[in-house]
């Protein structure tokens, strides 16, 4: 079929798509409505028409124009997914989980990075709206709750890592405090009493909760909290390296370190290595998040695991439910301690 001349009209913007629903209809000798019905399986259509339409579709490998469907249907089958950095190993697994579930449901994901700051997160959210997403998944952002509720007026949102009851919204909290106490009880159970905490960035809710868990476990074991055993990191390897180095150089003694996340622990590993200290012989180390790379660190790292992949999958299920007007019924994944080779009895 030669592409039919489109120049008849004198008005409107230029044409674009090579072959349209109308072309298929013409070729199959039916109306556009019928073609649409066959494609969408909306209504029964007689077999012979169906066959000829399907032949025409196959012949041209016709795909309905996405924007046109979107306009007619009022849906784009696209979900915006906000993480803090698309190249962060922590979020990576979560995005993977989201992708998998969304794809299975015929949705695609628009991923954007908030870079751990409100302005960028805000910008991403607007972009999502501008791109007409049907829903948004936010991985533990720092956007104020009020702002989220505002966006939720335009499209449904599921948010992880916080509790936010609001219409068109669903939250999947992360069990930071519980996880932290799990790590600490393990260390304390091994006889450690001088346990350093390499913290996350200041004021970050998850960081604060994990610190709270650290203190809670200390108290539980009747060990006095010693502020000087807490060093400020930034969730990254570099922060863990610097914080641990400072702790070491300042002469504080500790037999174990609980790190706010695995990346911080990897940084701590390097600091300890450079100081000639061995893990776990000289210092036991526990991380949080159980990154895939942590089973390959030397030695393999003991870590708290709350599967981010599963978190992502559930977030996807929740947003899909919201988008379809159903009430989500999903729970955050369980927290557990994965014991490897970085901890030992004192």
Least distance in Å: CB of 24 to DNA? 8
Instruction: Look at strands 135-139 and 195-198 and give their pairing.
Output: unpaired
**For the chain, what's the residue count?**
346
Whole-number Å distance between alpha carbons of 306 and 332: 9
Least distance in Å: CB of 319 to DNA? 21
Q: Which does 40 bind (CB under 5 to 8 A by kind): DNA, its own copies, none?
A: DNA
Of 3 and 293, the one with the shorter C-beta distance to DNA is 3
9 binds DNA (CB under 7 A): yes
Show contacts with DNA in window 59-78 (CB under 7 A).
62, 64-65, 68-69, 71-74
Show contacts with its own copies in window 56-95 (CB under 8 A).
63-74, 76-78, 85-89, 92-93, 95
Each as own residue / partner, the long-range contacts of residues 247-255 (CB below 8 Å, 24 or more positions apart, any chain) are 247/196, 247/198, 248/272, 248/275, 248/277, 252/196, 252/228, 253/194, 254/194, 254/195, 254/196, 254/229, 254/283, 255/192, 255/193, 255/194, 255/195, 255/283, 255/284, 255/346
39 binds its own copies (CB under 8 A): no
243 binds its own copies (CB under 8 A): no
Pull the structure tokens for residue 138: 């936010």
CB within 8 A of 106, min separation 6: which ones? 77
Least distance in Å: CB of 147 to DNA? 22
302 binds its own copies (CB under 8 A): no
Show contacts with DNA in window 35-54 (CB under 7 A).
36-37, 39-40, 42-46, 49
Q: Which does 111 bind (CB under 5 to 8 A by kind): DNA, its own copies, none?
A: its own copies
Least distance in Å: CB of 174 to its own copies? 18
Which listed residue (1, 3, 4, 22) binds DNA by CB under 7 A? 22
Cα torsion 106, 112, 118, 123: sign = negative
196: nearest Cα among 157, 145, 232: 232
Which listed residue (99, 121, 234, 290) binds its own copies by CB under 8 A? 99
Q: What are phi and psi of 285, to 5 degrees?
A: -130, 135
Least distance in Å: CB of 35 to DNA? 7
Say how many residues touch its own copies, by CB under 8 A. 58
Residue with structure tokens 């979900």?
Answer: 79
129 binds its own copies (CB under 8 A): yes
Binding site for DNA (CB under 7 A): 6, 8-17, 20-22, 30-34, 36-37, 39-40, 42-46, 49, 62, 64-65, 68-69, 71-74
């Amino acid at each position: 079929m030669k592409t039919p001349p489109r120049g008849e009209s004198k008005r409107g913007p230029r044409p674009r798509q090579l072959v349209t629903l109308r072309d298929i209809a013409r070729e199959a000798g039916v109306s556009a409505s019928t073609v649409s019905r066959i494609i969408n399986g909306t209504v029964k259509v007689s077999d012979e028409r169906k066959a000829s339409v399907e032949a025409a579709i196959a012949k041209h490998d016709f795909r309905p124009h996405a924007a046109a469907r979107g306009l007619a249907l009022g849906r784009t089958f696209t979900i915006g997914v906000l993480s803090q950095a698309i190249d962060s190993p922590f979020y990576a697994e979560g995005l993977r989980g989201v992708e998998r579930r969304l794809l299975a449901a015929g949705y695609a994901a628009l991923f954007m990075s908030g870079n751990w700051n409100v302005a960028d997160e805000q910008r991403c959210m607007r972009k999502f709206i501008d791109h007409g997403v049907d829903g948004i998944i936010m991985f533990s952002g720092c956007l104020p709750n009020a702002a989220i509720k505002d966006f939720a007026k335009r499209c449904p949102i599921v948010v992880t890592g916080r509790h936010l009851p609001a219409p068109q919204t669903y939250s999947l909290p992360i069990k930071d405090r519980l996880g932290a106490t799990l790590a600490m009880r393990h260390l304390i159970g091994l006889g450690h009493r001088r346990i350093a905490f390499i913290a996350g960035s200041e004021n970050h809710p998850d960081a604060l909760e994990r610190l709270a868990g650290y203190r809670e476990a200390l108290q539980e074991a009747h060990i006095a909290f010693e502020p000087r055993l807490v060093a400020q990191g930034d969730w990254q390897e570099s922060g863990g390296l610097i914080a641990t180095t400072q702790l070491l150089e300042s002469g504080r003694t500790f037999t174990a370190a609980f790190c706010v996340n695995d990346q911080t622990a990897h940084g701590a590993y390097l600091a300890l290595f450079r100081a000639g200290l061995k893990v776990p012989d000289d210092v036991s180390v526990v991380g949080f998040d159980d990154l895939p790379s942590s089973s390959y660190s030397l030695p393999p790292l003991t870590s708290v695991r709350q599967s981010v992949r599963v978190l992502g999958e559930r977030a996807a299920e929740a947003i899909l439910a919201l988008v379809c007007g159903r009430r989500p019924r999903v729970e955050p994944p369980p927290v557990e301690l994965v014991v490897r080779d970085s901890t030992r009895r004192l």
